Chain A
């Protein structure tokens, strides 16, 4: 009997973990859908795990496109900053559906203490690390948000549109061609007032249009 207790306990605790662990504080939106353009298709929000391409496990809306000669590492090299924790985007580049994961780059907000960042995550098929279409050339998709006071128990995240504006200005100030809010990504959420979710942890704010940055 004693020998049997171990596997049963292991299975029981594992099963409990699956059920309890499933109650993750994931966000949800009514605007989660696929967007197709020039032969590629992708979901318009990233997800908190690879197990669920669904609207009640979203993180942030896709708000930026880096195009022409972009790849994930090239964009990251321009950005600098710190690595962030990973999220996941589901897409189909014509060779079937895949998940890409990325932690992105976190740039400290100037004049604010440690723990306040503009955060961008960059997605593309791996290992090429870029999508390719005749319309946009080599391109990557990006989600944006702000990390607010993330070392405290009062941490908050979101304001994707505000972060998109910051990154648009970041690239424009470095000489890149930037067209703000130009591609309809169909992920407008609570624009322009915004909304809180997940117990005032996440603030959702998106006008549904993505900014395009040209990396020549």
Chain B
């Protein structure tokens, strides 16, 4: 290419980037000013018809029917909220059936595992287990198919019976996760000084597609240990998926008797402390 064409192309590139940057800065300035002064965007709402149909579907679910005597509100009064899919549109209705008092409930519960990227969801964690201290049940009804795609017991202190918990790793995956945690090179110093035991089955960590990519392994020391130095920590915005986590180096100095190690089963290594 002749030199003057190269220069012209470079100039055009530079001008394009500069114009983009100026436009972006201007837009950001307008945006931040507008956001600080804006009135709230109108909330996404279900129509009355959608709400009525979703309540009717949810109410007919066998698990809801089995517990109807414990539910504090009639089906028509059950609070309902919109559920938005991956593209931000309303795709389902969440119907909440609060109990008259915290209860122990046993049923087959359904969790959609990939709903943040696929709607309707295609992968589910479905299991029968007991939940203690449940304060109610919520049911998601897919508006298009009018099918129940999620049903869970919930409450601030709702607790899944440990031996039935579907979110823990078992068998080979459990053993592998524990071994990866214990093999973490940055833990060696602590593990040689004090004996640690794995205090509970590792908890599975899913990505947004519903695949198990890792685990949280909880290590309990017989007595508090002095954790001092620079360690890798797994950092993730609270509502982000685990695909978006990052590893940061953090210098700490504290005594603790419990450490949680995040391991990647895909990468076959411990990533950092939690």
Main secondary structure on A side of the interface with B: loop
Closest A residue to B238 by CB, please name it: A85
Question: In the assembled complex, which residues on chain A have CB atoms less than 8 Å from the CB atom of B98?
Answer: 193
Asked if A195 CB lies within 8 Å of chain B CBs, one says yes
How many of chain A's residues have a CB under 8 angstroms from any CB in B?
Answer: 55
The B-contacting residues of A in range 166-209, CB under 8 angstroms, are 193, 195-197, 199-201, 203
Stretch at the interface among B47-55, B155-163, B184-192: B155-163
Residues B88 and A199 in contact, CB atoms below 8 Å apart: no
Residues A197 and B158 in contact, CB atoms below 8 Å apart: no
Residues B157 and A109 in contact, CB atoms below 8 Å apart: yes
Stretch at the interface among B6-14, B63-71, B264-272: B6-14
Residues B20 and A7 in contact, CB atoms below 8 Å apart: yes
Q: A154-B167, A195-B79 are in contact. Are A54 and B40 (CB under 8 A)?
A: yes
Chain A 104-119 interface mask (CB, 8 Å, partner B; 1/0) = 0000110111110000
Question: In the assembled complex, which residues on chain B have CB atoms less than 8 Å from the CB atom of A111?
Answer: 159
9 closest A-B pairs by beta carbon, nearest first, are A159-B156, A199-B83, A52-B35, A152-B167, A11-B20, A56-B40, A162-B156, A114-B218, A3-B9
What are 21 inter-chain pairs, A to B, with CB distance below 8 A?
Answer: A3-B9, A4-B12, A11-B16, A51-B31, A52-B35, A80-B254, A113-B162, A113-B165, A148-B154, A150-B238, A151-B167, A151-B203, A152-B111, A152-B206, A153-B114, A153-B116, A153-B206, A154-B167, A193-B79, A196-B96, A199-B140
Give 18 new A-B contacts, CB below 8 A, not counting A11-B17, A157-B239: A3-B13, A7-B20, A11-B16, A48-B239, A82-B260, A114-B203, A114-B216, A115-B203, A150-B238, A151-B204, A152-B111, A152-B204, A153-B113, A153-B210, A154-B167, A163-B156, A195-B79, A201-B239
